Homo-oligomer: A and B are copies of this chain.
Amino acid sequence: DDHEAMDSGDTWLPSLTTETPQEGFALAVTLSQKGVATTQPDAEVRKAKRSEYAEDPDSLIAASHVIAIHFQTIAAANDYWRE
């Protein structure tokens, strides 16, 4: 459960560094979900709502938007994985 990890002293975000852009994108998804979990800590409620917004195009675009912001941050943190 993400929320318990956040409340307890568990480390869930040790670094913004990733090996590849693709892993950076996955981390962006995680951060987006974390932002939601912070406001709604009850995983059961989140799961119940998921089926709802996952079929609403506007919600899907809004979720994609948050991922885009986090990906921008992570990409900068990794100097864009330039070779």
Using CB atoms and an 8 Å cutoff, list the residues of chain A in contact with chain B. 6, 11-17, 20-22, 25-26, 29, 31-36, 38-40, 45-46, 49-50, 52-73, 75-77, 80-83
Contacts and interface: CB of A to CB of B under 8 A. Distances in A.
Given A45-B55, A71-B73, 11 more contacts: A14-B20, A16-B75, A29-B35, A35-B68, A39-B59, A40-B54, A40-B55, A62-B65, A68-B73, A69-B72, A70-B72
Nearest to A52: B57
Contacts of A25: 13, 31, 34
A1 B67 CA distance: 20
A32 B80 contact: no
A22 B11 contact: yes
